[in-house]
Amino acid sequence: MKVFISVDLEGVAGIVQWDPADRQMEREFITAEANAAIAGAFDGGATHVIVTEAYGNMRNIVPDDIDARAVFLSGQPKPRNHVAGIDSTYGAALFIGYHSKAGTLGGVMAHTYTGSIFSLKFNGLEVGEIGTDASLVGHYGVPVIMVTGDKAACLEAKGLLGEIETVVVKEGVSRSSAICVQPSHARKLIHDAAEKAIRASVGGSALKPFTVKPPVRTDVTFTDPSYADGVANMPFIQRLDGRTITFTSTDVIHAFELFNAIQFLAGVVR
């Protein structure tokens, strides 16, 4: 089975705030959790593993330290952003180090893509990065079978995706503080959960891909009306109120690529 792994930062064990002083630690911790998931996937029966980066400049994995049995995709821009590289040949996806959507109570470092986005909806369903990325891999028939992150992220994942494997590595006290599992122990939990999830998937698990039925209406609410001002005059966009725009796409891939371009452009214009 080919296994797809996407790795973010904010749901990594021991990380509770964005701090440039922690940059090297962030890279080491991201790489270590990716390695735990890779090892667990292979121990569970994976035959091929790709890891794609989902944080910041998307050059976080320490190349010399990543498990040599896997390949990894770094850098940006890239199609489908966090899940670049996905296609229908993969049997399962794992999301490592993920976080909850913007505004989530108790969500450690909770946000939705950039600081300009307050809410993102596909066909009326509000999604964060977990739901969006799950819908993108789901478009290719690939189920998400495991998510790791803080408690709020894992609850969000189960609410959307069902009884998948989750690993809670911290529990938010506020958006920038948390009760944390010791990172080395968290990696052992990630390994064991990945092995269990892949073994079940190879054995014919009933987990289904998370899909958004086309056509896809996308509603984007910005944190500030100025962001909406910057993109509202595009011909395919309808302005709903001071902060909200909407547009309709043929499928979720097209919807996401438009959203991804809009969220970057909005910040530049402002």
Whether the CB-CB separation of 216 and 236 falls below 8 Å is answered with no
State whether residue 213 is helix, strand or coil. Answer: coil
Please give the C-alpha separations between residue 207 and each of 91, 134, 135, 189, 193, in angstroms, as whole numbers: 11, 12, 14, 21, 15
The pairing of strands 216-222 and 165-174 is unpaired
Tokens of 60: 């976080």
Catalytic positions, written as ranges: 111
Of the candidates 143, 201, 208, the one whose C-alpha atom is nearest the C-alpha of residue 1 is 201
State whether residue 247 is helix, strand or coil. Answer: strand
Residue whose pair of structure tokens reads 């035959």 in the numeric block: 47
Please give the C-alpha separations between residue 57 and each of 14, 77, 81, in angstroms, as whole numbers: 20, 9, 11
Angle at 111 between CA 78 and CA 173, to 5 degrees: 140
